[in-house]
């Protein structure tokens, strides 16, 4: 039971792997080539059957004419030469037998020809359908790939635009701060005075520690 599950699991994994890596268009093209080759073989077979059918039809008609001629000859010799009349009737009968055989063979080949015609029509219809579907899917796939690539490039371009914009804003903000600091002498004076007071307070603490 475990072996069956393992085999099933491996099979499923392999199928998923094949679905991911296979070139669908190449596989479809290979299938179409096989169907096209099958259609070509069927057309060749049908051509041979049709040619043989025509030969059998010609033979049947010729044997029918031969039987008619031997009948007329037997009638002409019936009163003047009995032996020749009998030989003419023998040949008439032989022609009729061969005609019946040719008629039976002709019927068989006509039936086979009709079946081959239907088969060829079905295969060619299927081939046409597959070719149309291949073309449609190939176009859709190409369009999807182009759109995906375009979207990816667009996202990259958009991100780059916003990154550059943000960098420019940061630079402007930094420059504003620098300029504001340079253009405010009162602020600098007060900052210096506050710093001096803090330093004097720290110095007084040191003096107090030394006296104690």
Is 46 domain-assigned? yes
In the chain, the number of structural domains is 1
Instruction: Note the pLDDT tens digit of each residue in 90-114.
Output: 999 999 999 999 999 999 999 999 9
Length of the chain: 212
pLDDT score recorded for residue 7: 39
pLDDT in tens, the chain (212 residues): 444 454 345 345 435 544 544 577 777 788 888 888 888 888 899 999 999 999 999 999 999 999 999 999 998 888 888 888 899 999 999 999 999 999 999 999 999 999 989 998 888 888 888 888 877 777 776 676 666 555 555 555 656 666 777 777 777 666 665 555 555 666 667 777 787 777 767 666 766 766 66
For the CA atoms of 171, 173, 176, 182, what is the dihedral angle to 10 degrees? -80
pLDDT score recorded for residue 166: 73
Is 33 domain-assigned? yes
Is 125 domain-assigned? yes
Is 55 domain-assigned? yes
Q: Is residue 70 within 8 Å of residue 92, measured between CB atoms?
A: yes
Number of H helices, E strands in the chain: 4, 0
Is 169 domain-assigned? no
Q: How far apart are CA 111 and CA 119, in angstroms?
A: 12
- Residue 135 CA to chain centroid, in angstroms? 7
For residue 33, give the CATH number of its domain. Answer: 1.10.287
pTM of the shown model: 0.52
- The domain of 149 spans 2-160
Is 126 domain-assigned? yes
Compute CA distances 80 → 15, 73, 74, 76, 83, whole Å: 89, 11, 10, 8, 9
């Amino acid at each position: 039971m475990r072996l069956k599950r393992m085999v099933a699991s491996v099979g499923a994994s392999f199928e998923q792997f094949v679905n991911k890596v296979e070139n669908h268009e190449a596989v479809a093209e290979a299938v179409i080539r096989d169907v096209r080759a099958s259609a070509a073989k069927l057309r060749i077979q049908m051509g041979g059957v049709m040619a043989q059918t025509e030969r059998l039809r010609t033979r049947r008609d010729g044997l029918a004419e031969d039987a008619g001629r031997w009948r007329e000859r037997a009638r002409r010799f019936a009163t003047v030469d009995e032996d020749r009349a009998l030989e003419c009737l023998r040949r008439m009968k032989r022609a009729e037998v061969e005609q019946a055989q040719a008629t039976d063979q002709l019927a068989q080949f006509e039936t086979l020809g009709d079946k081959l015609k239907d088969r060829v029509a079905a295969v060619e219809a299927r081939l046409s359908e597959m070719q149309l579907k291949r073309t449609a899917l190939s176009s859709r796939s190409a369009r999807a790939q182009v759109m995906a690539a375009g979207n990816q490039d667009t996202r990259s371009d958009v991100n780059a635009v916003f990154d550059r914009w943000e960098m420019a804003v940061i630079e402007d903000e930094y420059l504003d701060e620098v300029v504001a600091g340079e253009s405010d002498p009162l602020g600098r004076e007060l900052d210096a005075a506050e710093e001096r007071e803090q330093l004097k307070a720290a110095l007084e603490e040191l003096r107090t520690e030394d006296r104690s």
